[in-house]
Amino acid sequence: MEKPILSDYPQVLGVYSLTLQAEVGTGSTKDTRENVTYWYARQLSESEFEIQPLNTHHVPSGVRSVMAEMDFLKQYMPEPTYYRTHTVPAMDTLARKVKMGETAFENGNMDEAESQFIKALMIRKEDVDANYGLGEVYSETKEFNKLKDVLNTLLGLSEAFTMEHRQKFNKFGISLRKNGHFDESIRYYEKSLEIVEDDENVYFNLARVYFEKGRNDQCISNLEAALNLNPEFIEAQKFLNYCKKAAK
């Protein structure tokens, strides 16, 4: 079979099982039993595979591990029936609740949006889209303590800052700034730069936060960082010129 091009990665492979032998009992009652666990698998590249355990709701949750191709193929067995019967319906339910939350948010129904996002998080507590959605709700409703809890969760999820979630990432960052949560916005963007250092848009967004806080020096330094990465970033150049004139 022809291998996919690199731009097609990551690819969802489905659910795989891992069977380990475990000894139980002692002495004459000692016995060996098989312990079967189920894992969600993705192919990250031609030679790397990612596995993540399934939770009690049959959806991927918990620590992700990356394995070499041969290690993965030797140890894990495909479970297409399990995936089709349990995981796909559960993930469909999760996606549906997130979508319902997003629709309610767009319609200005914050109570319903909060309810749907919380239901989604009951299925998978670290779901990136549900956490972003709930964070937006609390940002709009000015519920600072709840927002802080969601933000702390997102800051602990490195996948929240990857290209896969870039649209939600940008929307949430704008919401934080727009609603005056400047310090939280700075923490958020700085965390992103720990994971993706070469995104000029993050530096630009960080500059806007510092500008609104009245910290012109930090604003300028971040705009310069954005332009170092992309000298053709016209909006950043215009912003930088304005800030330099204002500083005179």
Q: Answer whether residue 245 shows pLDDT above 90.
A: no
At 58-81, the pLDDT tens digits run: 999 989 999 999 999 999 999 999
Strand partners, 18: 37, 76
Question: 68 - beta bridge partners?
Answer: 48
Residue 2 pLDDT greater than 60, yes or no: no
Instruction: Name residue, tokens 């940002």.
Output: 139
pLDDT digit string, tens, across residues 69-124: 999 999 999 999 999 999 999 999 999 999 999 999 999 999 999 999 999 999 99
Place of tokens 């140890």: 75
Report the CATH superfamily, name and number, of domain 197-248: Tetratricopeptide repeat domain (1.25.40.10)
Is residue 124 within 8 Å of residue 61, measured between CB atoms? Answer: yes
Question: For residue 21, what pLDDT is reported?
Answer: 78
What single string gives the DSSP state of each residue in 200-244? HHHHHHHHHHHHHTT-HHHHHHHHHHHHHH-TT-HHHHHHHHHHH
Fold of 80-183: 1.25.40
Q: What is the pTM of this model?
A: 0.81
Domain ranges of the chain: 1-78, 80-183, 197-248
List, for residues 147-158, the tens digit of each pLDDT value.
Answer: 999 999 999 998
Equal fold, 80-183 vs 197-248: yes
Strand arrangement, sheet containing 11-24: 65-68, 48-53, 31-43, 11-24, 76-78
Would you say residue 1 has pLDDT above 80? Answer: no
